[in-house]
Structure formats: structure tokens, C-alpha cells
Amino acid sequence: MNVPSDAFYDKLSTHRDNNHPFDYSYMNMRDELSSSWFPYNSQIARALLRDKHVMFIGDSLVRGMYKDMLALLQTGNLSQIHELRVSNEDSIHGDKHVSLREHPDG
């Protein structure tokens, strides 16, 4: 497995040491990191999740993890930054909303 380069660590350390408030440069570094050494692809992810049921319950952070999982299964990569920033979309990567409300007949 490949590991992040020294240049990447230097960039991350410099950003951290300068006490920058959170901005999306971390997300840019995330894309750089995932594209350079991310050890999974869609075939591995599908094999690991075969015959499994997964439910994501939570806030926008959990929604981001959900989007990453869908992107990994569909494309073999993590979500793009612009996809993570969007909220309340009807569908992403062909997913469907599921209501957990009680059925009126039961």
C-alpha cells in the first residue's frame, strides 16, 4: 500500500501550525490524499458489503460518510467536494429516500 508523501505531510503540518480556522483547503488535501494512496476500489467495497445491510442515521457528517460510501461503490473514489457541500438533494448516485414512518395499515 502506498503512503502519503512527505510533501503532503509538510503541507498538512504547515496548515495546522499556522492555526488557520477551518476552511476547505483540508478538503482539497483530502482529495489529494485519497487519490494518491486510497487502498480500496469499488470491487473490494462491493465484496466487503455483499449480503450486508447498512443504515446511516445521523446529521450532515453522517450524510457525508454516506455519500462517500455511495461514490466508492459506484466509481471507486470518494465524493467530490462539491457533492459534499450540497444538502437536501433528492438523490445522489441514484439512491432513494426511505421513510421510517409507521405504515397506516399496521
The more confident residue out of 80 and 6 is: 80
The CA-atom distances, in angstroms, between 8 and each of 12, 22, 37, 61, 66 are 6, 18, 12, 24, 26
- DSSP assignment of 65-79: HHHHHHHHHHHSSPP
pLDDT of 37 strictly over 70? no
pLDDT of 52 strictly over 90? yes
The more confident residue out of 1 and 49 is: 49
Give the integer Cα–Cα distance in Å for 73 and 95: 12
Q: What is the pLDDT of residue 23?
A: 54
Q: What is the pLDDT of residue 4?
A: 58
Please give the average per-residue pLDDT across 79-88, as a whole number.
Answer: 83
* Domain residue spans of the chain: 1-38, 40-94
Q: What is the pLDDT of residue 35?
A: 59
